[in-house]
Chains A and B, each alone.
Chain A
């Protein structure tokens, strides 16, 4: 008797969940039939990042220090007006190949200063940056909130390629078919700019890298200063800021892996040896 009761309970619970799911399924399907799945402007026009080949790509990637220095220069001369790099310290620039004196100078000359509170006067003043300081906060009055760039290449899917695509995307044509279908979506609202690599299609950042920046940045290592090159370099630099220890991580990884493979082969030998003669 009790077993019959128990048996029916499990069937009833099972039927309950299955039944409610079928009702929900009916709702989803009829909704789909009534409304279909109309394509949105974002679906028609948003594009995934273009490919970007950086020396730091892939499991064994390495940084190209000359490129990182160029990218830092782009950040310094252009992006730093609006974007902070709050998680990075000046002293870490040693990782780009700068020496102590150079870092001291970069920190001292940095246009945004460190705020200090004067206890006697009760007012805020400022002082020069030192290598021990992190890059200072940047205040931005215009439309939009520029995000801190320290981790940006980790904070977006396919981050480095995304930053690169965003930089060069302002001048690229949108998908012709999508544009014909959603002409309204191409018109930017006041204060925003169209960019097909940005998820919402319009963002508050005006094209940061244009021909106008070529003179401000001006590479000194013989690399041609083009918009595309600057975009690549600043992306490479932002890969570094997101994880300055990446190259070290790759190097250790190879050593640890070689050790483990060797140890595991020995372990396999030990296992075979112990089990020799024991059929299993």
Chain B
């Protein structure tokens, strides 16, 4: 579906006419990201991040395919195939590796901003629930992909990270240990685990690409939301995607690549852990096992559960950690307020910023050693996280008195009525 005023594709060149009448791919592209897709005129820079996530995925796939040509997925050779082969012997191998490792971090930064944009502007609400749900599926797939990718260079953190994460499954009562051994193909991570992780790490990005197509398809049914959260009412509210948003996204990609370049060429190890430059050693446990930074908030939630209450503490931790993500699936039904944008919801807006701080505190604690002070902070912050989504938000969304909305996007842009 699209708006009635969407422009129709009219191929000018005979070649394009010839193709379009046999395979309407040019028409499809035109309607998806060309002049045939009307988009609200008032999108701010936060709406660049979906495209940036797509760019990051392409960078990961391209660098990853070339890295895979030089990688040996065996416990005996993986470390050296990366640290000697790729880093020293392959032409520009260091560039590929640093681009891929830091590309993962950039991908998560961009997707986190994309998700918080959704939270702030209520993008998850009807009629875009499916866009949001598919987004959460993408997020889960990204986490699985990143985890398995981190295991591949077979350093100390690779090995012990795999040990800890697969250990979650042994928290399941009765069959847990059996499941863990089945997943790993052994009692501890070794060749079997490394090989299947490599296989899946190569597969999942393409699954993500597939889900992204569904994500954008679902988005194009109602079209993008916008910072006012007021739906498009007429032609004057929209501009064609091309050239308006292709130009704006092009500029956004430039800024993204500048940050990316600064990381890859000047601070390539800043976000990594030194222990992963030590070859995996099953007999020597690192002093602090920490995952990559983008998992820190979830790691903090896991470690916050230190009390056995009916269920063992470890099982609570694992349930809560997965629960903290699964909650996002229910978000469209937890927040019943008809107003989307936090700009018109004074209470929700405050809650949003408190949640931001809460997640940053969780992230900080998750990256720190398990000292009592950090555990206490994680316990408070985790409690608030669950309370925000399951208790406070449902109540606030019923009681809150929103501010008056502008009559239309155009009205908001031209300032014909006084709105903030």
Determine how close the nearest CB of chain A comes to the CB of B113; give it in whole angstroms. 18
Tell yes or no: B80 within 8 A of A by CB: yes
The interface stretch among B26-34, B83-91, B120-128 is B83-91
The answer on a CB contact under 8 Å between B88 and A245 is yes
Q: Select one of B239, B320, B375 contacting A278, CB under 8 A.
A: B239
| Total B residues in contact with A, Cβ cutoff 8 Å | 65
Give chain A's interface secondary structure class.
Answer: helix
Q: Min CB distance, A2 to chain B, in Å?
A: 12
- Asked whether, in the complex, the Cβ of B390 is within 8 Å of the Cβ of A10, the reply is yes
CB of B332 to closest CB in A, whole Å? 13
Q: Given the interface contacts A28-B372, A87-B80, does A267 sit within 8 Å of B274 by beta carbon?
A: no
A263-276 interface mask toward B, CB cutoff 8 Å, 1 = contact, 0 = none? Answer: 11001101101110
Chain B residues within an 8 Å CB radius of A144 = none
What is the number of residues of chain A that contact chain B, defined by CB distance less than 8 Å? Answer: 62
> Main SS of the interface on chain B?
helix
Residue from B247, B257, B305 in contact with A274 in the complex, judged by beta carbons closer than 8 Å = B247
User: Using a CB-CB cutoff of 8 Å, which residues 383-399 of chain B contact chain A?
Assistant: 383, 386-387, 389-391, 394
Q: Judging by beta carbons under 8 Å apart, are A28 and B371 in contact? A: no
Bound together, the chains give a CA A11 to CA B395 distance in angstroms of 10
Which stretch from B6-14, B52-60, B258-266 is at the chain A interface?
Answer: B258-266
Q: Tell whether A155 pairs with B277 under 8 Å between CB atoms, given A10-B390, A11-B391.
A: yes
Tell me if B247 and A275 are in contact (CB < 8 A). Answer: yes
The interface residues of chain B lying within 8 Å CB-to-CB of A280 are: 41-43, 239, 413
Q: Which B residues are in CB contact (< 8 Å) with A263? A: 254
Expressed in whole angstroms, the minimum distance between the Cβ of A246 and any Cβ of chain B is 9
A31 to B373, CA, bound (A): 12
0/1 per residue, B362-387, Cβ < 8 Å to A?
Answer: 00000000011101100110110011
Within 8 Å of chain A (Cβ to Cβ): is B118? no
Q: Contact: A21 with B305, CB < 8 Å?
A: yes
Q: Which of B65-73, B202-210, B306-314 contacts A (4 or more CB under 8 A)?
A: B306-314
Q: Does A137 lie at the interface of the complex (its beta carbon under 8 Å from any beta carbon of B)?
A: no
The answer on a CB contact under 8 Å between B305 and A256 is: no
Checking B253, B274, B306, B330 against A156 with a beta-carbon cut-off of 8 angstroms, the contacting residue is B274
Question: Given A7-B394, A252-B95, is A274 in contact with B244 using a C-beta cutoff of 8 Å?
Answer: yes
A29 to B375, CA, bound (A): 10
The reply to whether A28 and B330 contact each other, CB–CB distance below 8 Å, is no
Residues of B within 8 A of A278 (CB): 41, 239, 244
Nearest 3 interchain pairs by C-beta: A253-B265, A14-B390, A264-B254
7 new A-B pairs (CB below 8 Å) besides A11-B394, A18-B383, A279-B413? Answer: A14-B390, A20-B316, A25-B379, A27-B307, A28-B306, A151-B277, A280-B42
